[in-house]
Chains A and B, each alone.
Chain A
Amino acid sequence: MPDVTFTVDGKKLTAPAGTLLIEACRKAGIEIPAFCYYPGLSLQAACRMCVVRQEKVPKLQTACTTTVAEGQVFTTESPEITQARKATIELLLGNHPLDCPVCDAGGECELQDMTFRYGAGESLYTEAKNHREEQKWSPAVYFDRPRCILCYRCVRMCGEGMDVWALGIANRGSSAIIAPNGGDHLDCEQCGMCIDACPVGALTSDTYRYKTRPWEMNHVSTVCTHCGDGCKVTLGVRQVDDGAEIVRGDNRDKSGINGDFLCAKGRFGFDFVDSKDRLTKPLVRNAAGTLEPVTWEHAIRVVSNKLKEIRDSKTENGGGSSIGVIGSNTGTNEENYLLQKFARTVLGTNNIDHIRTTDYAAFVRAMAGHEHRAASLRDTETAKAILLIGGNPTEEHPLLAWNIRTNFRHNTARLYIATDSPIKLERQARQTLSLPVEGYESLTAFLSGDDSALGEIENAKTFREAVNAEESLLVIFGQEFRGAAIESLVKWGLAKENVKFAYLGDYANSRGAADMGLSPDLLPGYIPVTTPGAFAEEYPNLSTQPGMTAPEMLDAGCRGELAALYIVGSDPVTAYGTDPAALKRAFVVVQDIFLTGTAALADVVLPAASLYEKAGTVTNTFGDIQLVKKAADKAGVKPDFEILVRIAGGMGADVKKLVPFGRGSITVPAVTAPALSVDFVPTPRPIPSLRGIHGDLGQSRGAHSGEADRHAVWLAARGLELRLSPFDPLAALDEIERLVPSYKLDRLNLFAGNDVHSEPGFVPVASLTAPTAAELILPAHDGLFTSGVLGDHTKALVELNSYQESISQPVAEAAAD
């Protein structure tokens, strides 16, 4: 669309023709109030707050439906317009209860803000207000009908945004109400998006209801700890006796990679942090064989002394190679990096692994050397055509599903789906292909031109034709693809131009764990231990012999060949079904937030902080890196990072070598990556323009909590901030950036709270070893209300899960009457 020039309040503005006036004004810093207008959703023009005067038009026009054209002249503030808005608010307040002191939205209510601005402070009516009792629609959502101003944001959010259509309007006129699909309850995905969209306190969440007020909380924007999409979640935190508790999760500033979106897990799934089952004291197994609470100092001493003894032992069952280390899928990149560095340099072992939910190593191996072929999550919102093979994004990657739906709605993106069972996204699909369960590899063959591979499936040929006809394509595939299967699929796509790839993995930082070298054979950045390159100098005692994988370690432990097992934030005993008794002979140390199956048999259990209680970075399954900020606080627990540094210190290691802190830690990041073992010079990347801080005038609630401290961001972005503490994870980030080419980050964006995409194409090709065995992959397949161990300890999610199960029971008895 060509740009047009028009005048608003005497100011000349320029915008593409057809832009909505309200949007054009907001971009120019002219605020036009609105209740019903919500960017990205269909237009309503129902609230009449955005009325403006257009020259030569008799009536006031709604800015949310007026599109700009050349030469138009608008007035957005005048006594007439102010009066119109004031009258509308007066009408709303006529029936709106004035219970602001108890209302959850009080302090971040758009109706309050508007009343404050236009001053409808006087009541014109003496009649009683229409009152209705509050309704509980589900364990997550409450509806306070008199507070509702019928802006229909929730209806559209649920229908258009979520494609659930659980909300609608019943009755008409002044009796019109928002009604849930179950009559008096909601049967939906319980995402809580309606609560976020509600401009007033009509829709409230069970987890936050009547707990506190918005200004009493600190709002911390961090990354959700649940699935692999890495949504930004704003946690409302308040001080309590034993630290700081999280009282609310929402998507307050909408500045993250997830835009408007947040699912049930991100919104309600934070109460595991305050679960009674949390470990808050270090436990050491005493002579009687039970775990006994001890002080941190004692526990660290026990662990470091024992590990040192085993490492230094010259017996057959001793030395570094007799220690196994298993890392976490939910820890930060810095912790994972430190863990593998600790294992490789302090413990002197390559026996390091994590419970792999996805075969990232194979994915990166296939992508190596091909720049700009790995998709960011943001690409899913703009791609013209998407080929989804396997997986069920609606359940397992809700943000991806949201992005695909948004893309379909706004850009009529063409979606092609090939799965073995029907998924909900098929409603948006242009074509679907139903594959046999084992048919994914045949699909690759078929796409590559082997007609016999899927010969019997009816529409396979038209599907292939349509996919091949696309000029650009985003290929998203799930854990059905492992090892060589990934390679052949990627090979098919790389042969075509404009094809990008994304691989779906399970947990918050599964990708980071793989990237950071929690593998027996791969160093950070997928550098093989056999040819460590720059790492040979960096890591003094690095062995070039690949170590054991996690299942091998457990087997070795059961056979008594492993003297010590160090486990951080994972539960391999349960995951691999190991006999707990068999591990008795090994010295097992577990750092975790709950007493998992593995922790229960450990010799020392160290209470760790959850992702919401520490800082660092995480990488989502698309390779988008984001900053994690510390929100909650719990007395007694320590971040994994600190625990590792303390143990390394206790073992007599040079902590400064492990974590570069103190004087000299100021590192201006080099422009080019260090030379690695192969001829590999990454092309200099253009620094993406600063996306900036999302200013959402009037639509978001209250202050812009996502706004970062600009000075601190500037310093951090330029590496000019002195790392004063050995426990500062950002010191490790400096080193990661220095050594891992794909993690050369646009720091300004990262520290301003934006996502930064990492580029697997920077991984050197020739150096990669053979693909990992497919059977090592254990996908979690978490649904909308489950999230591994965390989900089991999250009361809100457990409740929602059982509620959804209870209402999906068929009501046969009622029909029989």
Chain B
Amino acid sequence: MSIARNIAGIAKGMSITFREMLEPTQVENYPDGPGPLRGAKFEQRFRGKHELQRDENGLEKCVACFLCAAACPSNCIFIEAADNTEEKRISSSERYAKTYNIDYNRCIFCGYCVEACPTDAITHGHGFELASLNATNLVMRKEDMLVPVASLTAR
């Protein structure tokens, strides 16, 4: 009885193996294959270069609460906060991030910042072609990460 069950188990396992052997390959041939700019598909949960989001009114979601910086294990986020004024409103709350830098030399893409964010302002995008020969280029500023206002209307 147990022998028969074992054989059945192996047969079931091997059948998946053989079936998958005949299926077309799912791995992207990078960099020679399509790549992100040429139509490659990403899993939703992929943690790439960060994006700073805007709300439905086009205001920045980030309120400069510094929680991402506090959560960051590699200490790569630098923020300077400033007050919103009636004339110049950047975020929906009292405060916004005047400076928001992420040092990609140090970032380990752990995603803690995204989890810590109380306003869903920082998310992981899918950008991964970040390599550079100049380390100073790897300190991204707010403008490099903020989603453009246009992308809202496009949606």
Contacts and interface: CB of A to CB of B under 8 A. Distances in A.
A–B contact at 8 Å CB threshold (below): yes
Interface of A: 99-102, 106, 209-213, 215-216
A102 B83 contact: no
Contact of A211 (B70, B81, B93): B81
A102 B70 contact: no
A102 B65 CA distance: 6
Given A100-B65, A102-B63, A106-B65, 16 more contacts: A99-B93, A100-B118, A101-B65, A101-B119, A102-B65, A102-B93, A102-B94, A209-B83, A210-B83, A212-B66, A212-B81, A213-B65, A213-B70, A215-B70, A216-B66, A216-B70
11 contacts: A99-B94, A101-B65, A101-B93, A209-B83, A210-B81, A210-B94, A211-B81, A213-B65, A213-B70, A216-B69, A216-B70
Contacts of B65: 100-102, 106, 213
B11 interface: no
Contact of B95 (A100, A102, A216): A102
A215 B66 contact: yes
B73 to A, nearest CB: 15
A463 B70 CA distance: 61
A101 B82 CA distance: 14
A393 B70 CA distance: 43
Interface in B73-121: 81-83, 93-95, 118-119
Contacts of B69: 216
B63 A101 contact: yes
Contacts of A210: 64, 81-83, 94-95
B70 A101 contact: no
B67 interface: yes
A99 B64 CA distance: 12
A133 to B, nearest CB: 11
Contacts of B83: 209-210
A213 B68 CA distance: 12
A147 to B, nearest CB: 12
A102 B67 CA distance: 10
Contacts of A215: 66, 70
Contacts of A213: 65-66, 70
Contacts of B63: 101-102
B19 to A, nearest CB: 47
Q: Is the interface of A mostly helix, strand, loop or mixed?
A: loop
B39 to A, nearest CB: 38
Q: Which 6 A-B pairs have the closest CB atoms?
A: A101-B65, A213-B66, A210-B95, A101-B118, A102-B93, A102-B63
A208 B149 CA distance: 31
B103 to A, nearest CB: 14
A101 B94 contact: no
Nearest to A213: B66
Contacts of B64: 102, 210
A102 B91 CA distance: 11
B122 to A, nearest CB: 12
A163 to B, nearest CB: 33
A101 B83 CA distance: 14
Contacts of B94: 99, 102, 210
Interface string B116-137: 0011000000000000000000
Nearest to A212: B81
A106 B81 CA distance: 14
Contacts of B70: 213, 215-216
Nearest to B67: A101
A215 to B, nearest CB: 6
A209 B64 CA distance: 13
Contacts of B119: 101
* Residue in A100, A102, A211 whose Cβ sees the most chain B Cβ within 10 Å: A102
Contacts of A102: 63-65, 93-95
A650 B69 CA distance: 46
Nearest to B66: A213
A99 B93 CA distance: 9
Contacts of B95: 102, 210
A106 B94 CA distance: 14
A527 to B, nearest CB: 52
Contacts of B67: 101
A212 B98 CA distance: 11
B138 to A, nearest CB: 19
Nearest to A239: B78
Nearest to A211: B81
Contacts of B118: 100-101
A102 B66 CA distance: 9
B139 to A, nearest CB: 14
Contacts of B81: 210-212
Nearest to B83: A210
Nearest to A210: B95
Contacts of B66: 212-213, 215-216
Contacts of A209: 83
Interface in B23-37: none
A109 to B, nearest CB: 13
A215 B66 CA distance: 9
A345 B65 CA distance: 55
A216 B68 CA distance: 11
Contacts of A99: 93-94
A106 to B, nearest CB: 7
A209 B82 CA distance: 9
A56 to B, nearest CB: 47
B101 to A, nearest CB: 13
Nearest to A144: B94
Contacts of A211: 81
A211 B63 CA distance: 12
A739 B67 CA distance: 52
A460 to B, nearest CB: 58
A209 B118 CA distance: 20
Contacts of A100: 65, 118
Nearest to A215: B70
A216 to B, nearest CB: 5
A212 B69 CA distance: 12
A474 to B, nearest CB: 47
A100 to B, nearest CB: 7
Contacts of A212: 66, 81
B2 to A, nearest CB: 50
Contacts of B93: 99, 101-102
B78 to A, nearest CB: 9
B61 to A, nearest CB: 11
A589 B67 CA distance: 49
Contacts of A106: 65
A100 B83 CA distance: 16
A671 to B, nearest CB: 48
A652 B123 CA distance: 62
Nearest to B84: A210
B113 to A, nearest CB: 13
A100 B65 CA distance: 8
A213 B70 CA distance: 10
Nearest to B70: A215
A483 to B, nearest CB: 53
Interface string B27-67: 00000000000000000000000000000000000011111
A215 B116 CA distance: 15
A209 B85 CA distance: 13
A666 B94 CA distance: 54
B102 to A, nearest CB: 16
